[in-house]
C-alpha cells in the first residue's frame, strides 16, 4: 500500500498520499463537481482525464491557482461509488493557442477515506490487468 493512515478531526481514518501512486488515464472523461457544504449546491468543476488514489488531472480552460482548496465529488469509474473529499490544486496549466498540452490542474486529495483510496487503487490495478490481457491477446505481426 502506498501512503499512510492518519486520523482526522472527526476521528475517521483517512488516507494520506506519501508517494506517487498509480495514475490511470480514463477512457471517457469523468465529471467532477465542486460542492459547497453550507449551501449544498453543486456546480460543474471540470472533466477528470486521469485518476489515482492520490489525486487527478482536471481539464479546465481557467484553472485555479496552486494552493486553492475545494470540496469535490466524482464517481470511481465502473463502480458507481461516489467520492466526496477535499482537493488542493498543486499545479496548473493555462490555455495557450500554441500549447500542445490541455489546460487544467493537478489536484491532490487531502482527506480521502482509506477505503475509498483503496477502491481507486483496485480500479487502477484492474485497468492494468485489462490492458496487459489485451496486449497478450493481440496476435503478433507476420
Give residue-wise pLDDT tens across range 98-141.
888 899 999 999 999 999 999 988 888 887 666 555 555 556 55
The pLDDT of residue 1: 35
Helix or strand or coil: residue 116?
A: helix
Residue 85: count other Cβ atoms within 10 Å of its Cβ.
19
Does residue 55 belong to any structural domain of this protein? yes
CATH code for the domain of 59: 2.40.10.220
Does residue 11 belong to any structural domain of this protein? no
Does residue 15 belong to any structural domain of this protein? no
The pLDDT of residue 136: 57
Helix or strand or coil: residue 107?
A: strand
Residues 6+ apart with CB under 8 A from 85: 71, 72, 109, 110, 111, 112, 113, 116
Does residue 12 belong to any structural domain of this protein? no
The pLDDT of residue 35: 87
Does residue 18 belong to any structural domain of this protein? no
Does residue 3 belong to any structural domain of this protein? no
Does residue 4 belong to any structural domain of this protein? no
**What are the CA-CA distances from residue 17 to residues 36, 46, 55, 92, 118 (Å)?**
24, 23, 9, 19, 12
The pLDDT of residue 12: 44
The pLDDT of residue 24: 59
In whole angstroms, give the CA distance from residue 103 to residue 115.
Answer: 31
Burial of 119 (0-12, 13-18, 19+ CB in 10 A): middle
Domain that holds residue 71: 24-137
Does residue 106 belong to any structural domain of this protein? yes
Does the pLDDT value for residue 96 go beyond 80? Answer: yes
In whole angstroms, give the CA distance from residue 82 to residue 85.
Answer: 10
Number of domains the chain contains: 1
Amino acid at each position: 500500500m502506498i501512503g499512510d493512515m492518519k486520523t482526522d478531526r472527526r476521528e475517521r481514518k483517512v488516507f494520506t498520499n506519501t508517494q506517487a501512486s498509480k495514475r490511470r488515464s480514463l477512457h471517457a472523461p469523468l465529471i467532477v463537481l465542486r460542492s459547497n457544504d453550507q449551501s449544498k449546491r453543486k456546480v460543474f468543476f471540470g472533466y477528470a482525464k486521469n485518476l489515482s488514489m492520490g489525486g487527478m488531472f482536471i481539464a479546465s480552460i481557467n484553472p485555479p491557482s496552486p494552493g486553492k482548496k475545494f470540496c469535490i465529488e466524482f464517481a470511481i469509474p465502473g463502480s458507481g461509488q461516489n467520492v466526496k473529499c477535499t482537493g488542493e490544486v498543486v499545479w496548473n496549466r493555462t490555455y495557450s493557442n500554441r500549447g500542445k498540452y490541455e489546460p487544467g490542474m493537478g489536484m491532490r486529495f487531502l482527506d480521502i477515506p482509506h477505503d475509498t483510496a483503496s477502491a481507486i487503487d483496485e480500479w487502477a490495478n484492474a485497468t492494468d490487468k485489462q490492458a496487459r490481457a489485451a496486449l497478450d491477446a493481440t496476435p503478433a505481426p507476420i
